[in-house]
Amino acid sequence: MRFDVITLFPELFAPFLASGVTRRAFESKQVEVVLWNPRDFADGNYRRVDDRPFGGGPGMVMMAEPLSACLDSALAARGAAAPVILFSPIGETLRHEAVERWSAGEGAVLVCGRYEGIDQRFIDARVTHQMSMGDFVLSGGEIPAMAFLDAVARLQPGVLGDEDSHAQDSFNPALDGLLDCPHYTRPEQWKGEGVPPVLLSGHHVQIERWRRDQRLAITQQKRPDLIEAARAAGRLSPADEKALQKKL
């Protein structure tokens, strides 16, 4: 799959693409990332990409034409049409189910806004999807783009090394959409705190039941909406319901 990223700061992506376990996906081109700077498509000696907003007000607005010309070049290089994603506070909040869909697709063009915003005419004419990372505002779309690419890359075969790793993630359907349980490693004692005895027992059935109960308890405490969704979908067993009653 291929993601073309339109950004005024392509240099921000260099360490991200070369670091961590997900670099395997980028280096192998399982997830190909091509960076495009709209300033390269702007006119004039100063390659201006922004201007003051009509109607007044603070900040600057990214101009439609450099973005559109940059997008045209990105699509031409791809050789085919592709979804165009703008990271925006008004977009749909990204969730695991959507990440799974994108991770199985052919990629997209990611548009990273800056300044006060982007000329609405470009959004109306060229953007097919708007995506939000949550109810907060960042200085630009580069961090959301990296978060999105990381989430997609780690789901590619072989990237995490252990194929079962992402199946244990929070929100994964393999865990019925629940949050993950606590994890422990050596030493067995750390600053007077021990490891739950069941994890040292070697009894795999009891260990899995403990982990399931912990997932249920944490999800009930932190995200009760996920418990209700799992219940509505018929994913909770009688043992699950009993464990939830104990925690209430």
Catalytic residue among 23, 65, 89, 209: 89
Q: What's the longest Cα–Cα distance across the chain? A: 71
Catalytic residue among 116, 150, 180, 223: 116
- At 87 the three-state DSSP class reads strand
CB-based contacts of 179, cutoff 8 Å, min separation 6: 170, 171, 215, 218, 219, 222, 223, 226
Q: How far apart are CA 164 and CA 176, in angstroms?
A: 15
- Catalytic residue status for 89: yes
Provide the token pair at 64. 């439609």
Provide the token pair at 157. 């075969």
Evaluate whether 103 touches 166 at the Cβ level (below 8 Å): no
Catalytic residue among 2, 126, 154, 215: 154
Evaluate whether 39 touches 68 at the Cβ level (below 8 Å): no
Catalytic residue among 65, 100, 150, 169: 169
- Catalytic residue status for 235: no
- Catalytic residue status for 209: no
- Catalytic residue status for 126: no
Residue 241 neighbours by CB distance under 10 Å? 12
* The dihedral sign for the CA sequence 145, 148, 150, 152: negative
Task: Name the β-bridge partners of 36.
Answer: 6
Provide the token pair at 62. 């990214």
Please report, in angstroms and rounded to a whole number, the separation of the first and last CA atoms in the chain: 45
Show which residues are catalytic.
89, 116, 154, 169
